[in-house]
């Protein structure tokens, strides 16, 4: 009997449990990258003056690495998985409780919305859950769109920021729709963006918990302005729609098994994304928090052509590597299985390490110390997640979320 070829093995069906292990691991991988990106907010590095950075060893290399490898890629993966998860969850609910599936899912989103509001308005303005919850409702109302429509709408949404930025620029419309200024006024009565930055700086440095909560409420409005400034809403929705399409393919067994699609995604992502990433880095990122300009317009174009193709290439590379090295990549599985708990834990740890109401370390030493902090924090999450899941079925936040969704107490111990 002939030995099966490698191509045949690649195309073989993947078990349901293995599929979910890959998704959990990919989610954990995204969590690592998200904390890597967010640590520059927690530490205050993002707001260090560019002139001051010239005297800091390794600053340019660190910033270039963030722009070329990290920036935008991991929230793209997380957003993709959110859309994919939407398709899976709705499918499971329709199978188990068809009559209540829609109601349960909407309740689930509403609870996530509440969690995100508390997280953003009281603890950390860098929250992304609020946008996910709001766009989750949009996904719900688009659930009957066919696969082709999802992909066409996603493609349109990816392009929207380019004419949108240009239109705002030429019409003189404020990038944040005035929300930076509102936040500034609440912080210190100023009518420009300086108050927003002053509020963020004070949030990091204040030792008063009462003032800390007050500032978070005031500058959370500026976070909403950031969504408009960076055109984050159409971008994330477009990514989620692709994730929704991918979820349908996964259910049909046509995604993880599709080696040709995965390899094409990698090839396209690298050929288009790598050279545009260099251009994007030279433009110093999205130029957010700044007035419209030619460089800002070019950065919006470079972002679309660099960040998204590479992010999807990351997903495809991870999936193919999983087939050969599942034991190595499974280090991300446990953290990804309790992603909400770990995302919130990252906020707690980031604030505890860097903020004045915690240990107040702020940014001390070279920026590469932030890499060490990121690795140590995620290693801690890997250890804690594995210990927790040996005893319990869900993460603590996931358990509470689940009970509120179903409206009853549910077991958590294995």
Q: What is the pLDDT of residues 301-317, one digit of tens each?
A: 999 999 999 999 999 99
Q: What is the domain partition of the chain in residue ranges?
A: 18-71+325-414, 258-323
Distance CA 373, CA 378 (A): 9
Listed in sequence order, the DSSP H helices in 119-251 are 129-141, 147-159, 161-171, 179-188, 194-205, 209-229, 232-251
Give pLDDT, residue 364.
60
Residue range 270-299: average pLDDT?
90
Query: Partners of 413 in the beta sheet?
Result: 392
pLDDT of residue 253: 82
pLDDT at 231 over 50: yes
- CA distances to 107, 109, 153, 292, 401 from 407, rounded to whole Å, are 10, 14, 35, 48, 10
Length of the chain: 414
Is the pLDDT score of 381 beyond 90?
A: yes
User: Going by C-beta distance under 8 Å and a sequence separation of 6 or more, which residues neighbour residue 391?
Assistant: 413, 414
pLDDT for 242 beyond 90? yes
Tell me the average pLDDT across 385-396. 96
The average confidence (pLDDT) of the chain is 89
If phi > 0 it is left, if psi is from -120 to 50 it is alpha, else beta; for residue 362 that is left
pTM for this prediction: 0.91
With CA atoms as reference, report the closest residue to 19 among 321, 253, 324. 253
Which residue(s) pair with 392 in the sheet? 413
φ, ψ of residue 392 to 5 degrees: the values are: -115, 155
């Amino acid at each position: 009997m002939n030995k099966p070829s490698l191509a045949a093995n690649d195309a073989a069906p993947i078990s349901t449990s293995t599929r979910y292990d890959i998704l959990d691991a990919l989610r954990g991988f995204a969590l690592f990258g998200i904390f890597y990106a967010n640590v520059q907010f927690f530490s205050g590095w993002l707001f260090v003056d560019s002139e001051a950075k010239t005297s800091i060893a390794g600053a340019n290399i660190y910033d270039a690495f963030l722009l070329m490898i990290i920036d935008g890629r991991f929230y793209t993966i997380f957003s993709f998985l959110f859309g994919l998860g939407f398709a899976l969850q709705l499918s499971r609910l329709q199978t188990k409780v068809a009559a209540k599936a829609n109601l349960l899912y909407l309740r689930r989103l509403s609870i996530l919305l509440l969690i995100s509001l508390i997280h953003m308005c009281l603890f950390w303005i860098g929250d992304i859950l609020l946008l996910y919850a709001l766009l989750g409702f949009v996904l719900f109302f688009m659930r009957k769109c066919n696969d082709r429509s999802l992909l066409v709408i996603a493609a349109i949404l990816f392009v929207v920021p380019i004419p949108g930025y240009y239109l705002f620029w030429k019409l003189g419309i404020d990038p944040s729709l005035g929300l930076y200024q509102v936040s500034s006024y609440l912080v210190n009565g100023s009518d420009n963006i300086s108050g927003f930055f002053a509020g963020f700086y004070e949030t990091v440095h204040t030792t008063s918990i009462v003032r800390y909560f007050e500032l978070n409420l005031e500058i959370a409005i500026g976070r909403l302005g950031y969504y408009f400034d960076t055109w984050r809403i159409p971008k994330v929705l477009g990514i989620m729609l692709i994730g929704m399409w991918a979820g349908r393919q996964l259910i049909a067994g046509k995604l993880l098994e599709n080696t040709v699609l995965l390899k094409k995604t990698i090839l396209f992502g690298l050929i288009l994304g790598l050279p545009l990433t260099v251009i994007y880095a030279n433009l110093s990122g999205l130029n957010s928090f700044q007035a419209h300009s030619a460089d800002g317009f070019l950065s919006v174009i470079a972002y679309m052509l660099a960040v998204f193709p590479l992010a999807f290439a990351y997903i495809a590379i991870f999936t193919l590597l999983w087939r050969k090295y599942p034991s190595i990549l499974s280090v991300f599985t446990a953290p990804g299985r309790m992603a909400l708990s770990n995302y919130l834990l990252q906020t707690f740890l980031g604030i505890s390490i860097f903020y004045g109401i915690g240990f107040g370390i702020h940014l001390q030493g070279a920026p590469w110390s932030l890499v060490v902090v990121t690795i140590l924090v995620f290693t801690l999450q890997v250890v804690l997640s594995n210990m927790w899941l040996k005893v319990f079925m869900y993460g603590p936040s996931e358990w509470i979320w689940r009970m509120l969704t179903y409206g009853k107490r549910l077991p958590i111990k294995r």
